[in-house]
Each structure stands twice: as C-alpha cells, then as structure tokens.
Amino acid sequence: MEKNSLHFNFKFTAISLLLMHCAKFSKAANSKGPSPVLGKGTWQLLLNNTGVVSMHMALTHHNTVIMFDQIESGQSGYRLKRRYNGTRCRGTREDLEDWSCYAHSVEYDVLRNRIRPLHIQTDTWCSSGSFLSNGTLVQTGGFGHGSRRIRYFEPCANGHICDWKQTERLLSDDRWYATNQILPGHDQIIVVGGRRVFSYEFVPRLPSNKWKSYDLPFLHQTYDKNEGGNNLYPIIHLSSDGHLFIFANRDSILFNYKTNRVAKTFPRIPGNGSRSYPSTGSSVILPLSHTDRFERVEVMICGGATSDAFSASQHGRFLPGLESCGRMEITGNKHEWKMENMPGPRLMNDMLILPTGNVLIINGVKNGSAGWNSAANPSLQPYLYKPKRPLGRRFSVLRMTKIARMYHSTAVLLPDGRILVAGSNPNNRYTFRNVPHPTELRLQAFVPAHMDKKFNNRRPHNVSIYRNGGVGYGKEFSVHFHLRNTKPRNLVFTVYAPPFTTHSISMNQRMLTLRCRNLVRAENGLINAHLEAPPNPTVAPSGYYMLTVVNDGIPSVSQWLRFIHA
C-alpha cells in the first residue's frame, strides 16, 4: 500500500470535489465555538510581480500553478536570457521588440511562493485547456499561428525542469475563444466553438473521421454578429448521463456528442442580455451527490452583460451588468430556470466551488463588456453563495480587495483552501501608466473565513489517503485523519477536479459528495474512514482530484487522489 500524506502548511486548495457522508455522524448537531458564517475572509499579497498576466491559469497535482498570457502582448514583466530556439537575447533594440525574449508563461510554486519562466512557442491568446488522466495539461488553440495548435505541459516534481511541448498535429478548425471538456473515455477531449467557428472536434481525433470537425447548428443559432458573437467560450458541463450541457448566449441544449444530435432543448434563461463572451457571465455545475447516485445534475449561471452592452462599450458607454443568477436541473423531465439576484451587477466573474459545497463568486466588473477598454467599475467584493439555504438567504458579501481584477483575470482553488487570484489587463499590451486600470501583475490569495485558525479545533488534520497507485471506480479506499478534542459532526468527504480557467470559464470544474461506508475512531483522535469511489468515469472522468474532509462546515487541507480505470 502507498501512503499519500502531504502537508502543505496552509498553502493549497481544491478544484473539483466529491462529498461523502457517514450516516453515523451526519445528523445535525449544535456546533460549539464561533461560526464561519459571520466571517468575511482575508486577503494576502503573495507577489508584487508575476511577470506575466494570468489570462489562463491551472493548478497541477504537483501543487504548482501554470499561468500564461499571449505572445503578442509584447514585453512582459519577465525578460529571458534565451529565445525558444536557444539563441541569446542580448538586450538590443531588436531584442526589446522580440516577443520570444520575454516569458509569456510561468510556473508558480505555491509552497515556495516562487515563479519559474516557461516557453510557449505559438500564441495562446484566448485559448482553452483540459487535464488528462495522468495530470498532463492539454492546451488548444489561440490566435493567428497558434489557433490550430495543440500544446502539452506535463508537470514534474521538485528539482525537475518541465516546459511546454507543441505537437506537429493540428486542430481541424481555428479555435480562438473555444471551450474544452474532458469526456468519460480514455483521455478524449471535445473542443467546441471559437470566433466565427460553429463546429466541434475531438483531441485526439476519432479514428473513424481522422481529419474532420463537426458542424453544430446550435452555435449558428446563438451567434449575434452585432454584439461580438455573444456565444464565444460556450459554457459546457458533462452531465451524469454522459451528454453535454452546452449554453451559449441565452440558450442551452443537452447534446449527444456520440450521435451528433440534440437530446434536449432547454428553456431560454429569463432576462435581457447575454451570459457568453463578450457578455461573459460564469457557471458551475453544483456538487453531485452519492445520496441520489449522482443522477441529479443542476447547473448555475451568474452574471453577464445587458443587451447592447458590447456595442455601447465601443463608444465609451458602460451599461450596468446583470445581477441575476439562474439555476436549472438538467436531468429528469422538468426544466425551469429558477432565478435569484446577486448583491449587485457583475460580469467577467469567476465561480469556484469550495470544499464546503458553497460557491465563491470573485473578480469581475459591474459595468460594460469583456474586451480591451470595454468595462468600468471593478467588483472588489467577493460573494459567497450557499445553495442549500432558503431563497433570499443564500448570498453574503465578503471582504473587499483593493486590486481590480477585470478583463483577463483568473482565480483557482488551492489545496490549502485559499483562492489564488491573478491577472487583469483591460488594455491592449502591457500598460502601466496613464490608463484608468493599469495592467496588473500582483498575485493575491483570498482566505475564506472557514480557513481561519480559530476553527482549527474543529478542522480535520493530517489527512492521509491509503491507496495502491490510484482508486478504481466503485472501489473502496481508506482515509485517515485526526480531530483535536472534538467529535465528528456532520462529517462530509469531498473530491474536486482542478479546472483550466480563463475568461470566467472554469473548464471541467467538478465536485461530488462520496459515500462513507464505515468510520472507526481511536482513542487518540485518529479516525479511519472507508470511502467508496464514484461508480464510473461519466460521473467523474479519470484523473487527479483533491480530497477534502469537512467536519461541521470546516474543511481540512486537501490531498491529491487519482481515479483510474481498473
């Protein structure tokens, strides 16, 4: 047996979660001590200069974060000694104008709080990505010569040097502002949409149609040519029935990618305005649960821009964004958007699922549209959304940041429970002076209230996962942890898959609540839980997940777990 017992000293968080209850300890109980409900969280400034605007961000299972921008942004904040081809950058005027003498991607070591420059060969501007089952990041598309490129980043352990690799194989169509979704099969990715591209394709390509993409009429129907498209970066979620929920502009379908047919057409989300780029709202699939065999799937979409916001922004008028959120069950036979309002208007916001099952809404602006110089009035206060509370009591406003996170900003959940926040470049190229909102290179972390030290007596500690190379679907595995001077209350186990995040889309973000079959407590506070893995890769595509133990609403530091095909 292999023991996975990494301790990150409050340095990491999770991205896609599975939540598990042990019936013996899941009854409601009155909690002692302060409540995390009342806290507003805190902000930490980690670095003053990442060197690169974090237009794209992804957490790896080696606890590093990959951040990258576009090569045509010119001089980044991190100058290189050598170009990608190995020749020296000597600081001449020609070198100062050469994009390859500057880093446009970096690797951030969360534990050491350090940046390492990486080399990207072609332009990744507004591209997409997914993780394979072995933890390799697959990155697709971009701008210009990069629009049909496929790149790989295989993260490596400390002391090793890993970098981007680009394949000779090309995508069938240009993929600029497209969305990726990992599929239940063995490392199959679907890539959907793009600017004036109304098709989808698979990476790797299907053997039966090796060089072909597939037309998707839904993308034609949702395209708004007068408002910048308003169906770019379509929202995609994998349903537990194996179909894809695809949302663009204001409409959505359930799509059978195996037969190239629409299985369902859902009602239009109420209200005027759009939710897709450049209107740019955000979305999550709410946590799936073992209590209904992961069969009930509910999607939530928040924010976006009002009608004509994009065209108005081109003339310097920044219309208020949308305040509304919509929730809809996409399984079953009844489909209705249930609407509610956030505390204020918001677009270009990121939505992250926390280990508690609550949703954090962070970053963005209150007015305008996505794009360079197209928005105003940054949203500085995160919102916390508790989906299980009664309507009208689900939102709370958290502590304000002083740093605007506007166009081209990102956020990811770390294993220690913090949220890493970076980016913001509402300008064409890196611009630091004489603009309302300069290019932003500072790196922050938001610490939710439930991670405060005052809750350590209720927090599970020293979480260890016992496994042999990975856990097969439907199999049992053991998790050990300690509770200090307290008994388990409302104990939940969660797993969370790390997303690829860009332009308010957290591709492949997923959380599930898993079943706890047995729980044994020793006298020294050690607890051994026997958990059951999800039943199949349709529920949880194979790969690395972050497992968290949540006791009475207080999460542990997360540990990495891999689900594999047996």
pLDDT in tens, 161-218: 899 999 999 999 999 999 999 999 889 999 999 999 999 999 998 777 766 999 999 9
What pLDDT band is residue 90 in, cutting at 50, 70 and 90? Answer: confident
CB 321 within 8 A of CB 271: no
Sheet harboring 42-47: ordered strands across? 42-47, 443-447, 419-423, 409-413
Q: What is the pLDDT of residue 113?
A: 97
Residue type, 10: F
CB 13 within 8 A of CB 546: yes
Q: Cα torsion at 335, 340, 345, 347 (round to 10°)?
A: -30
User: Exposed, middle or buried by CB within 10 Å (0-12, 13-18, 19+), for 186?
Assistant: exposed
Pick the closest to residue 326 from 359, 298, 361, 346 (CA basis). Answer: 298
pLDDT in tens, 222-235: 999 999 999 999 99
What is the separation of C-alpha 526 from the centre of its chain, rounded to a whole number of angstroms?
33
Specify the range with the lowest mean pLDDT, choosing from 8-17, 133-142, 149-158, 519-528: 8-17
Q: What is the pLDDT of residue 20?
A: 40
Q: Cα torsion at 20, 24, 30, 33 (round to 10°)?
A: -70
CB 132 within 8 A of CB 138: yes
Q: Phi/psi of residue 220, each to 5°?
A: -65, -45
Tokens 């509304």: give the residue. Answer: 324
At residue 66's C-alpha, the angle toward residues 65 and 71, to 5°, is 155
What pLDDT band is residue 78 in, cutting at 50, 70 and 90? Answer: confident
CB 248 within 8 A of CB 294: no
Report which secondary-structure segment, H or E, holds 220.
helix 217-221
User: Exposed, middle or buried by CB within 10 Å (0-12, 13-18, 19+), for 501?
Assistant: buried
Q: What is the pLDDT of residue 157?
A: 84
pLDDT in tens, 60-75: 999 999 999 998 777 7
Domain 2-32+452-564 has CATH 2.60.40.10: yes
Contacts of 459 (CB under 8 A, 6+ apart): 551, 554, 555, 556
pLDDT in tens, 471-508: 999 999 999 999 987 889 999 999 999 999 999 999 99
Contacts of 339 (CB under 8 A, 6+ apart): 270, 271, 324, 325, 326
